Amino acid sequence: MAKFLNAFAALAVLLPFTQAQSSFIDDCTTFNSSLYTKANWAAGLGSVSSNNVNPSGGGVLNFEIPAGTRNGGEIVSKAQYSYGQLEAQFKVPNLPGVISSIFLYQGTSTSDEIDVEVYLNQGKWEIAFTIYRLGIKEWSHGYFPTWDPSAGYNNYMIDYQEAAISFYVNGVLEAQFHTPPQQPIHAMNIQLNTWFPAWLNGAAASSTQFMQVNQISYTQS
């Protein structure tokens, strides 16, 4: 498969991106139904529900974790996006066992994906940057912030370019993957979520918690 992809590299890169969408800025004042849908699925220790994603009315999109549950929320872009800069400003719940993410995902277990995942594990905050190509994990890097991602809003950016994929937190380059033959080759959906993966083994929320997002943007290259 790798030899096939290398032999047809130009064609494989150009064709999937012909339907990729253009730049936008979402200030999260309302739920932008022209850009996204709300997801419903069960995985890990709970589920995500469309009922758990709602705007505050004050420029914040809330992804709710209801008290007594391991449930969360997710949004998925209606369009797919290719090379460009994807970023979001959000505050994560201070709750062990929950992953809060912004990512690009083609949609299946054998497809392309670029992740930024923020979570609290055994008392330590970690931000994981991960890349999948055709369902295979090609690279992952863990960043351990000295600050608390739940204390306020922080900016997370994926700079997805043909030559490299760079990951920024609050404007600082924290990781970079520059091996084009192992990078994704398809346009992908933009997704944000908060949920309970089984491997983190998190307890149900004792009180209602939120991932809160106040801006999402994509700038096409």
Supply the pLDDT for residue 5: 32
User: Which residue range forms the structural domain that includes residue 122?
Assistant: 2-220
Q: E strand or H helix at 113, and its extent?
A: strand 113-121
Place of tokens 């992809």: 5
Distances 115 to 42, 50, 92, 155, 160 between C-alpha atoms, Å: 20, 21, 16, 14, 11
Q: Tens digit of pLDDT for each residue in 120-139?
A: 999 999 999 999 999 999 99
CB contact at 8 A, 46 and 120? no
Residues 155, 171 contacting (CB under 8 angstroms): yes
Cα–Cα distance, 86 to 84 (Å, whole number): 7
Q: Which pLDDT belongs to residue 22?
A: 87
Number of domains present in the structure of the chain: 1
d(CA 8, CA 11): 5
Residue 40, domain CATH: 2.60.120.200
Residues of the chain with confidence (pLDDT) below 70? 1-20
CB 205 within 8 A of CB 64: no
The CA-atom distances, in angstroms, between 40 and each of 7, 96, 101, 116, 168 are 39, 22, 16, 21, 29
pLDDT, tens digit, 9 for 90 and up, residues 94-130: 999 999 999 999 988 899 999 999 999 999 999 999 9
Residue 16 is predicted with a pLDDT of: 43
Q: What is the pLDDT of residue 57?
A: 84
Cβ pair 171, 180 in contact under 8 A: no
**188 and 104 in contact (C-beta within 8 Å)?**
yes
- Which of these, 150, 167, 160, lies nearest to 190 by C-alpha position? 160
